[in-house]
Chain A
Amino acid sequence: MSRALELAERAWRAAEGDEADALVHVEESGFARFAGSEVHQPTLIRDETVTVRVVRDGRWGCATTNRVDEDGLRAVARRAAEAAGRSPVDPGFAGLQDAAEVPAVEGYDEQTAALTPEEQADAAAAAITAAEGFGLYGYYTSGVTQVAVASSTGHAVSQDLTDVSVLALAATEAASGFAEASGWRAGDVDPAAVATEAADKAARTHGASEIEPRTYRAVLEPYAFSELLFYFGFSSLNALAFLEGRSYLSGRLGERIFHPSFNLRDDALDPAGLPKAFDLEGVPKQEVTLVEEGVARDVVWDRRTAKQAGDGRVSTGHGLSAPAQSFGPIPFNLSVAPGDASLEDLAAHVEDGIHVTRLHYLGVVDPREGIITGMTRDGTFRIEGGRVTEPLVNLRFTTSVPDLAAKLLGLGRDVTLVNRSDFYDERYPYGTLVPAVATEAFTIVGTGSGPGL
């Protein structure tokens, strides 16, 4: 039995006489962060977090602790029970997950789990060395996480996960380029190669020009498309937003609202991503077809929204932990089917437009219409005559994601796993699998500063 599952079993049993479940995160991770090619904010984290949810007569309450001795577990169960006892009956509560098998998934690598702080620092140093001529900013991080859910229903599931991510911004005062790579096997992630990609990109950004604000044809690299898609997913592919009418997909399921070549799934089982066997309620993960040949098919569900929807709807395994469920279910493993184009082909499809490497600081302007604003950065270029030409300054976009995906000109043949976790709170690695895309519609509304620091 894993350490996490052992803690989860002890935790729910501490809620004597009540229906209860427990979610446990066990984390050991290291962050070799660097800035200006020097180590900066190096952080080693070790923690064990237990969330107990107690259910009494249709009421529920939860409490969280990282005190995992017997006193700590008894205390957290008592606080959860008090919260349940003082809360009114919750008609929307969908109950605890019954005992169920969860799918076997990959996602754990002994070699990655065994990485020492010294090896994490070595990996960061390899990236720094490879970006010769530029200051390198970013990190190398790896971690091992155990997640477990156990409950009084007899449900008991546990998963060991490893993850590794390297992020590299190669920059001078007047130039900058970006690259990243993630995976669950350290051997699949080459820090030097990532830094080299960033440095090569940066070297092409000197002397950036401005362009007029208007709607452009554009190529979005996977880094950029991933971020745009994740923001869209958070606000529109979430069953709670769908049921409340805030989602772009509200009232539009079954309609062909995207380009016929656009196929979007949420697939936590794919070993090419960061696999998960179950969600944070312990519900087995399902692959969900969200968009099929341009037709909106579904959103992702948790137990609460499935109950709210009725009509036989069940959770697809996208629930958050009990204290966070007011956000609704989240598609943590978005995956876009590739096309057959190279980056050069995509530029040729665009003919005249822009090439975007990475985005910055997105904001959802209008969730119902899928309009998102943000800036491009660290590798924005002009496309002229079907080829990437001069560098551009950072551009402000305010664009409709559905329109972008409805007016696709092509999809890249290579799919990239792009990390989407910024590692706040407990470590829970997730990312999207996306190709580069070319679109007719990417709306620029202003220009910003040039590349570089």
Chain B
Amino acid sequence: MHELAEHAIGAAVGAGAGYADARVLLRRAQNVSTKNGEVDSVSDSETEGIGVRVVLDGAWGFAGDPRLSEEGARDAALRAVAFARASASRAKTRVELAPLAVETGEYRTPMEQDPIEVPLERKIELCLRAEEGLRRREVKIAEASVRALRESKFFCSSEGGRIRQDVVECGGGIDALAVADDGRVQARSYPSAHGGSSAQAGWEYVESLGLEREAARVGEEAATLLTADPCPSGVMTVVIDSEQMELQVHESVGHPTELDRVYGTEAAYAGTSFLKPEDLDALRYGSEHMNVTADPTTPGGLGSFAYDDEGAPARRRPVVAAGLLVGFLASRQTSALIGRDLAGSMRADSWSRMPLVRMTNLHLEPGEGTLEELIADVDDGIFLSTNKSWSIDDKRLNFQFGTQIAWEIKRGTLGRMLRDATYMGVTPQFWGALDAVAGHGEWRLHGLTNCGKGQPGQHAHVSHGTAPARFRDVRVGVRG
């Protein structure tokens, strides 16, 4: 496959490109879901193709072609060159790429059992068993799902880069929807809402999730929520569980620190950022308890690799250190713009999409103590768990998030269950109110597969390691 990529690069450079890279991708994915004791969906998809990216006279061009042949590679290259040439004459600025040492290498997901090779019957049986545990009279919809993905990527660049990476992912989750006689509905999920949790790992990861083990609790909580009191409205201390902190980190730290958003190139769709380039090493993002790290070397992370999709090597870097902004997620182009060596976060969701600055694995580093100790230091507050809804503004400042379940905290102890909990905030003020993060023992790695960005749209698979955290003076119980 490297030969096809090099053929494309030869065609692009021969047609005038000053820089070219090519990615050949072969992917296979399986999804199994069950619902109320029956198979809801069994799918098995594969895709393959080549994507060629060029810079010609300072302008980008990109084209993808599904044909893994010399003809397909050449056509993609020549179309990318033609597209770049069409805009180059009007460009007012030139694309500059930060220098990159020529990289050749390989990467393979460490794993024990290839999840694609696990027979469908086993996947279906696991889902059906897990889902059975959710059932209650009130639970009208019980669902379980598992997924598996295997892909091989072959990258070459006109600078001499030559990389192969073989990635395997899998994951799963369960969901219970309880419906009251008067029509009210409540949902509970495990280990995360919106498709469960995934990791870059073998099938042993899915088995370790304990979907069957957790099902009874999840079903019971969904049923109990139907008669729970609503979350009160007010300003109070909140303790947020690890799973909801995944979303909090993703939306209010991950996206705003993407340097393409800082420079405005996502303004039309995903939005920009409240951060400016000059905020690097200067802006106080949060309290001294806030330490966020981008780490594409994290074992099991969906954003783990040896090289990103423009051939930059994976490096662990701090993004926020003791509350100070010290890093951005960047590409070679945005690294050149800011004048710092920050490249290594470029990812594409397919051979037919151009790489974008994306999160890899972005973690809230653990603090000290246990969840119980976080709660013990709250006189009057709320404990929030498992994401239900999310929305944040185009600069990633004003957010409103909802959780599936909450509990009141009175005098350091969890009290009654609460439904329909929401909280809102403004990013730097919210993180400034962080007064504790639980320790290593509470830190969990979560993987999500639905991060959207770009036009045409792309889904990224990213992971976040988080521990429960406590924030003071948060507005909760927002009503429409």
Contact = CB atoms under 8 A, between A and B. Distances in A.
A366 B420 CA distance: 8
Nearest to B185: A368
B185 A169 contact: no
Interface string B285-320: 000000000000000000000000000000000000
Nearest to B52: A44
A92 B86 CA distance: 52
A415 interface: no
Contacts of A375: 391-394, 398
A447 B61 CA distance: 39
A157 to B, nearest CB: 22
A83 B33 CA distance: 13
B62 A41 contact: yes
A139 B268 contact: yes
Kindly state the interface size class of chain A when it binds its partner: 35 or more
Interface stretch (B105-113, B376-384, B453-461): B453-461
B66 A360 contact: no
Kindly state the interface size class of chain B when it binds its partner: 35 or more
Given A245-B183, A377-B394, A443-B480, A453 B267 contact: yes
A31 B44 contact: no
Nearest to B87: A39
A190 B274 CA distance: 32
B84 A87 contact: no
A87 B124 contact: yes
Contact of B455 (A48, A139, A363): A139
A255 interface: no
Contacts of B274: 449
Given A40-B265, A398-B480, A448-B393, A45 B459 contact: no
Interface in A419-450: 422-425, 443, 445-449
A373 B480 contact: yes
A121 B83 contact: yes
Interface stretch (A56-64, A97-105, A269-277, A288-296): A56-64
Interface in B248-263: 263
Interface string A381-424: 00000000000001011111000000000000000000000111
A67 interface: yes
A375 to B, nearest CB: 4
A61 B63 CA distance: 33
B179 interface: yes
Interface string A323-347: 1111000000000000000000000
B93 interface: yes
Interchain residue pairs A-B with the least CB separation, the first 3: A323-B43, A448-B398, A423-B456
Given A37-B92, A66-B66, 18 more contacts: A39-B60, A42-B83, A47-B64, A61-B120, A83-B43, A121-B86, A245-B179, A245-B183, A246-B177, A323-B31, A323-B43, A326-B33, A365-B389, A366-B480, A422-B269, A447-B398, A449-B393, A453-B264
